[in-house]
Amino acid sequence: MLRPAHAPADRRRLGADVERPSRRGWSTLSARDLVRVPGLLSLSRIPLAALFPLTLGRPGWGLGLLALAGATDVLDGWYARRFHQQTKTGALLDGVTDKVFVLTVVASLVASGAMSVIETLLLATRDIGELALAIRLAADPRRRRRVKVPAANVGGKIATTLQYAAIVAVILGSSQRALFIGAAALAGLFASASYWNRDVAAARS
């Protein structure tokens, strides 16, 4: 007759054991995740970035590389969600390779005179906000331990998409480039605010 009284506790212990692997996947980094499909798709943006400077003066080739990089950005997230391969390593890798690709493209355009420094700073609004937050976290180990990497950040993805759109406008010499750059800057501000808000919420909890 005493067994039913202990059953809920047993189920709770069993539930904790079942949930533990998924929690571990988000709390540690794993080199194995780099060679899974999502990781390889993210890593493919590195050689694409290296090739972009060779496309300067060839808008068609440049747009083709942008389209290919954008496709990998969509596919890595879709594959990870579809086949349950979302990990902290994958989330970090996705963000890093996005930044490497965009930074390489923008630096190439600035070096060629196609984009001004002011336009570059506007496009980098989100990245500047993230850098400031990273410095804050580095200075406070307790706060850094509380922050969790989300599976996907909508604001960050919107900002990245608008960055791509602005770069396309610059490559094509569109008269609407200022509009796209301004939209990317506003999205970057929104994304940065969401990152800082997440940090504040984590500190309060």
On whether residue 10 sits in a domain, the answer given is: no
* 47 and 90 inside one domain: yes
What pLDDT does residue 142 have?
65
pLDDT of residue 198: 78
Note whether 53 and 85 are same-domain residues. Answer: yes
CB 146 within 8 A of CB 131: no
Highest mean predicted confidence (pLDDT) among 28-32, 137-141, 188-192 = 188-192
Same domain, 36 and 119: no
- Residues 68, 106, single domain; the answer is yes
- Model pLDDT for residues 39-69, shown as the tens digit of each residue: 999 999 999 999 999 999 999 999 999 999 9
- 25: exposed, middle or buried (Cβ count in 10 Å: 0-12, 13-18, 19+): middle
Of 70, 95, 114, the residue that ends a domain is: 114
| 119 and 196 share one domain | yes
Q: Which of 5-14, 48-57, 104-113, 142-151 has the lowest mean pLDDT?
A: 5-14
pLDDT for the residue numbered 11: 45
Tokens standing for 176? Answer: 């609407």
Q: What DSSP assignment string belongs to 86-134?
A: --HHHHHHHHHHHHHHHHHHHHHHHHTTSS-HHHHHHHTHHHHHHHHHH
Residue 14 sits at the vertex; the CA angle it makes with 20 and 205, to the nearest 5 degrees, is 50
The answer on pLDDT for 118 being more than 50 is: yes
The last residue of one of the domains, among 80, 114, 148, is 114
Please give the single-letter amino acid code of residue 150: P
Same domain, 205 and 119: yes
Is position 108 within any domain? yes
With respect to residue 104, please indicate whether it lies within any of the assigned structural domains. yes
Residue 12 has pLDDT above 80, yes or no: no
Co-location of 77 and 153 in the same domain: no
Domain that holds residue 143: 115-205
Q: Is 83 a member of any domain? A: yes
Q: Are residues 97 and 162 part of one domain?
A: no
**More confident call, 42 vs 204:** 42
Q: Average pLDDT, stretch 103-110?
A: 95
Contact at 8 Å (CB) between 123 and 165? no
Predicted confidence at residue 196, as pLDDT, reads 82
- Please name which of 158, 159, 153 lies closest in space to residue 199, comparing C-alpha atoms: 153
Q: Which of 93, 114, 135 is the last residue of a domain?
A: 114
Shared domain for 173 and 120, answered yes or no, is yes
Q: How many domains does the chain have?
A: 2
Specify if 8 maps to a domain: no
pLDDT in the model for residue 74: 92
140 vs 15, more confident: 140
The reply to whether 198 and 129 lie within a common domain is yes
Residues 108 and 187 in one domain: no
Under 8 Å between Cβ of 160 and 97 = no
pLDDT in tens, 143-177: 555 555 544 568 888 998 999 999 999 999 999 99
Give this prediction's pTM.
0.74
Q: Which residues contact 45 (CB under 8 A, 6 or more apart)?
A: 69, 72, 73, 97, 98, 100, 101
Same domain, 84 and 125: no
